[in-house]
Homo-oligomer: A and B are copies of this chain.
Amino acid sequence: MTTLLANATLLPCTADMPVVEAGWIQVDGETITATGSGEAPKIEGAEVVDVGGDIVMPGMVNPHCHMAMTLFRGLGEDVDDRLYRYVLPMERKFVTPQMVRTGTRLAALELIEAGVTTVADMYYFEAEVGRVVDEAGIRGVVGQTIADFDPPDHKSIDEGFALTEALVAEFAGHKRVTASIAPHAPYSTDIAVMNRVARWADDHPDVPVQIHLAEMDSEMEWCAKTHGLRPVEVVEKAGLLRKGLICAHCLHVSESDIEKMAHAGVCVAHNARSNAKAGRGIAPVEAMRAAGIPVGIATDGPMSGNTLDLFSQFAPVTMFQKLAGHSRKPMPAREVIRMATIEGARVLGMDAAIGSLEPGKQADLIRIDVSAARMQPIYDIYATLVFCAMPVDVRDVMVAGKWLMRGREVKTVERRRAMRDALQIAREFKAEMARIDAAG
């Protein structure tokens, strides 16, 4: 089965980030087999889609998310102690396989509608996340959380590892779902446990490791008090600062931390809105990238960042670096889109397969309509994407050669059911919030 997308403004997101006017792209089965500009080749039996000048670009990569937390979206907004007041008690009470399935399904719907085709998740009952990702047709790195704080799905570290082993077994050989292990953070996963994860990871070189790192002042203080070290140094001491480690946040990283991180070959998921909404600060993205660390653009969970689309992150990502650099120049629009595509793929260790439109790669691509008044005129298509485009402009989404959305119609997630199930759980959450607030 051959599909030809013709008459596109093609953004292949290859090294030079070119813009191919009147571009075309050929997809055979799951794979991109050719791209070019001008008239598309005639191929018998091919489905030809004239995209009428719309952008065709790689599906976006969201390298840090807690999908199931859609159900907590906007809960406890503007409240400084919301983590201990609402989130942790409610997670302990309400997080079940069914809740995870329901929240993740709502997230999958939103991700597809926003043109995100690959997501890295870390949460509880992660096999449920993997199953929903599988059904939805997107690509996912699904990380089983390992933590000391009596999380909802494991009473001991041994149980956490057992869940991880089961996850790895369930998705062994899966083309789109990659099992992952996720020690929660230096302050919530004992150094001995992180070391155990590191040794386990030695035996499972194909299982990506995810961690929250250097996110909070309280984390800095805890690490200093407990270990006399900075968070990056704690992870290093645990033997976990290793090639391919996916580090979320990395706000509080010093020059020497960045050197260690670059030397070790770790990758970073930058969560601009989540960090700023909590008043935590601005991650030194320019410095990390200058040191050679791949940095992707992530949303964090929807309780922290509200939406799961990358468009809402684009302006913050570049504005924060411009504010920090006191200039218009830092983080040009083109680099933002690079981070959202090929660099995000690199963060997840998947850049050989996805993240750019090149022959031999998986056909993960999106079509974006640029006809809205707010997007015109266009002088720099990358600036248009970064500052004017919104999820609703994504018309079509393809993953591994399969259409997941066409003309804004998502084919793989049943909207009515996803919404109905989510709202039913949200009603219970509201009642619980009222009880917590009444208790003072």
Cβ–Cβ contact A323 & B374, under 8 A: no
Residues of B within 8 A of A325 (CB): 279
Cβ–Cβ contact B379 & A430, under 8 A: yes
Q: What's the minimum C-beta distance from A404 to chain B, rounded to whole angstroms?
A: 14
- Copies of this protein in the assembly total 2
Cβ–Cβ contact B332 & A73, under 8 A: no
The 0/1 profile, CB within 8 Å of B marked 1, for residues 257-290 of chain A is 0000000000000000100111111100000000
* Cα–Cα, bound, A309→B277 (Å): 21
CB of A312 within 8 Å of the partner chain: yes
Residues of B within 8 A of A152 (CB): none
Indicate whether A277 sits within 8 Å of B109 (C-beta atoms), given known contacts A74-B379, A329-B80. Answer: no
CB of A400 within 8 Å of the partner chain: no
Cβ–Cβ contact A307 & B388, under 8 A: yes
Cβ–Cβ contact A374 & B277, under 8 A: no
What bracket does the count of chain A residues touching chain B fall in?
Answer: 35 or more
Cβ–Cβ contact B106 & A74, under 8 A: no
**In chain B, what residue has the closest Cβ to A112?**
B373
Binds B, one of A157-165, A185-193, A419-427: A419-427
The 0/1 profile, CB within 8 Å of B marked 1, for residues 210-245 of chain A is 000000000000000000000000000000000000
CB of A44 within 8 Å of the partner chain: no
The 0/1 profile, CB within 8 Å of B marked 1, for residues 90-115 of chain A is 00000000000000001001100110
The 0/1 profile, CB within 8 Å of B marked 1, for residues 345-384 of chain A is 0000000000000000000000000011110111110011
Cβ–Cβ contact A379 & B433, under 8 A: yes
Cβ–Cβ contact B106 & A373, under 8 A: yes
Cβ–Cβ contact A277 & B328, under 8 A: yes
CB of A392 within 8 Å of the partner chain: yes
Most chain B CB within 10 A, of A309, A374, A384, A387, is at A374
Cβ–Cβ contact B77 & A279, under 8 A: no
Out of B75, B323, B387, name the residue touching A281 (CB < 8 Å).
B323
Interface residues of A in 94-142 (CB under 8 A from B): 106, 109-110, 113-114
Cβ–Cβ contact B319 & A376, under 8 A: no
CB of A418 within 8 Å of the partner chain: yes
Cβ–Cβ contact A374 & B276, under 8 A: no
Residues of B within 8 A of A75 (CB): 379-380
Cβ–Cβ contact A114 & B74, under 8 A: no
CB of A333 within 8 Å of the partner chain: yes
CB of A20 within 8 Å of the partner chain: no
**In chain B, what residue has the closest Cβ to A387?**
B306
Cβ–Cβ contact B377 & A322, under 8 A: no
Residues of B within 8 A of A423 (CB): 376-377
CB of A82 within 8 Å of the partner chain: yes
Q: Can you report 19 A-B residue pairs in the complex whose CB atoms are below 8 A from each other?
A: A73-B376, A74-B378, A74-B383, A75-B380, A79-B328, A79-B329, A82-B328, A106-B376, A113-B374, A276-B319, A279-B326, A279-B327, A306-B388, A316-B316, A374-B391, A376-B423, A376-B426, A379-B426, A390-B392
Q: With contacts A74-B377, A277-B328 known, what are 13 further pairs, Cβ within 8 A? A: A73-B377, A73-B379, A76-B379, A77-B333, A78-B328, A79-B329, A80-B327, A273-B315, A277-B315, A279-B329, A307-B387, A309-B374, A376-B419
Q: Which 10 A-B pairs rank lowest in CB-CB distance, beginning with the nearest?
A: A377-B426, A306-B387, A276-B319, A279-B322, A77-B383, A78-B332, A74-B383, A110-B373, A279-B327, A392-B392
